[in-house]
Amino acid sequence: MAAHYDAIVLGAGPAGLTAGIYLARARIKTLIVDEGIPGGQMITSYEVANYPGIAETSGAQIARAMVNQAKSFGCEILSQTEVVRYDFSGPLKEIEVEDEGVFTSKAIIIATGGLPRSLGLPSEALFKGKGISYCATCDGDFFTGKEIVAIGGGNAALEEAVSLAKYADKVTVIHEFDQFQAQPWAVDEAKKHPKIHFLMNQEVRGFEGKGRLEKVVTADKKTGEVTELPSEGCFIFIGYKPNTKQFSGLVTLNERGEIVTDDDMKTDVPGVFAAGDNRAKRYRQITTAVADGTIAALSVAEYIQSGAFVRQIAS
């Protein structure tokens, strides 16, 4: 038998949890469904120093507080489960959850987030959060006065290298080709910076250290010469992958696979909204995800309470 909610939020990262808090507090019956542990990528941040109003905390602590707050208002959370079917075609949106059955709702918020692209090396996973990071804004100041590495050759890699140079004594940019893919202005800015150095045409072979990252191992793609670069921090900027493949054909995605929305977080499907890092936008931070979740929840409340849902049924 199907269980019905006013709103279903897909994803329990900062965007989804914020949406759940706002919706439940407005007495809108809400279910959050997540295939992992509530908190999303936020829980991988060991230290968070730029969350407004909190001097220093961790992503996991913020996640726990958000989960408890959402539940205190009556929001239900179903985690570590798999959604096997989506149907957004009718006025009532429908999802089917493995071993749990079918759930319907008047509105859906897609907040499934995404992941920074990884190199896929076993040692990368080993040092994630222990010297390896994917966010200069989040973690750059933890490497003040240290020698660090930035991997990548696009605009993001070079822009973030310049940002990291505000903290680190030395930033070495490692790139797999002998030419950058970034815009000329980004290349010029990085090359002019006295703290930024370059190691080109390199294949990253692995990461080494005892407990925490101590060195990055690369090999020259032409000569095969191996370099062991001492480094206490490594930032990987080789792209970002939104978690949206399952929504292809259901809502409009752009060429990067990001969900296209307007400023109110509405997709092109009535009753379907999106929020957080899976949405087409420029900046991705915990705070921007929280903002998206807030707007999406308010838009859903308006959609339900204004009669737009009823008009959907009538049409």
The whole-angstrom distance between residue 19's C-alpha and the CA centroid of its chain comes to: 16
The token pair at 206 is 């692995």
3-state secondary structure of 82: coil
Write the DSSP string, 107-151: EEEE---EEE-----HHHHHTBTTTEES-HHHHGGGGTTSEEEEE
The whole-angstrom distance between residue 224's C-alpha and the CA centroid of its chain comes to: 35
Q: Which residues are catalytic?
A: 135, 138-139
Q: What is the 3-state secondary structure (H, E, C) of 139-157?
A: HHHHHCCCEEEEECCCHHH
3-state secondary structure of 24: helix
- Nearest residue to 314 (alpha-carbon basis) of 158, 91, 148: 91
Provide the Cα torsion 145, 193, 188, 198; round to 10°. -60
For the chain, report the end-to-end CA distance as a whole number of angstroms.
Answer: 26
